[in-house]
Copies of this chain bind each other. A is one copy, B any other.
Amino acid sequence: MFSGAEQVAGDKPPGRRRGRRRDPRAHQAIIDATLEMLAVNGYARMTIESVAARAGVAKTTIYRRWPSKGPLVTEAISTQIHLGGLPDTGDTRADLGAFVRAVIVVLRTPMIRHTLPGLAVEVAGNPDLASALTSHLVAPKRARVSEILDRAVARGELEPDLDYEIVLDMLVGPVMWSALVSGTPLDDAFADRLVDGVVSGIERRPGS
């Protein structure tokens, strides 16, 4: 469904390469410095200039690899987001709960919290960045949820024609919204109530 093959950043096009090769230590130093500056200042106040200084690298060395702030940050934070292995418990609620909790853990990282909305700004006016971000950050989550839902469908707990997209939106959207705007505390109770709502609905059941 999603190729996962997009470039986030600065690999040279395939043509023959001559002359001095790019220093991989510079690359890593830049990524590290980017993460540091993001954690300290947040997205809006992070500057290429400060990243270069922190990394002990010339500005040109950064611009040679990434065209602008957005892709650099995307690559930097994509190195930090691993949902980790999610268990197959055989219980849909438990599986989805584990997923939501994993997302919450990521969003509670100060660096991530400082950074994501800034990325969203860029995304709003930059389709290339949008697809890069999507493929690196959203697609993997989508895959996780798809697996969980596939298993639930196989167990007969969910309708086979369920719209997976909207389920993902219903699980991730509220978490993001709470993290960024509404301020609802992001804890295990939140995760449970959310999963419960998504699975069972809020409607009163005759037999409950």
Contact residues of A with B, CB < 8 Å? 42-45, 113-114, 117-118, 120-125, 130, 133-134, 138, 156-159, 162-163, 165-170, 172-178, 180-184, 190, 193-194, 197-204
> What's the nearest-Cβ distance from chain B to residue A179, in Å?
9
Closest 5 CB pairs of A and B: A201-B201, A173-B177, A173-B174, A117-B120, A173-B173
> What's the nearest-Cβ distance from chain B to residue A155, in Å?
10
Known contacts: A177-B176, A177-B177, A204-B156. The answer to whether A117 contacts B113 by CB under 8 A is no
A125 touches B44 (CB 8 A): yes
CA distance in complex: A74, B117 (Å)? 16
B202 touches A121 (CB 8 A): no
B202 touches A162 (CB 8 A): yes
CA distance in complex: A193, B125 (Å)? 28
B122 touches A120 (CB 8 A): no
> What's the nearest-Cβ distance from chain B to residue A103, in Å?
11
Number of copies of this protein chain within its complex: 4
Enumerate chain B residues within 8 angstroms of A121, measured Cβ to Cβ.
Answer: 42-44, 117-118, 120-121
B167 touches A197 (CB 8 A): yes
Q: Which residue from chain B places its CB closest to the CB of A41 in the assembled complex?
A: B125
Known contacts: A193-B163, A198-B197, A203-B158. The answer to whether A169 contacts B180 by CB under 8 A is no
Q: Which residue from chain B places its CB closest to the CB of A162 in the assembled complex?
A: B202
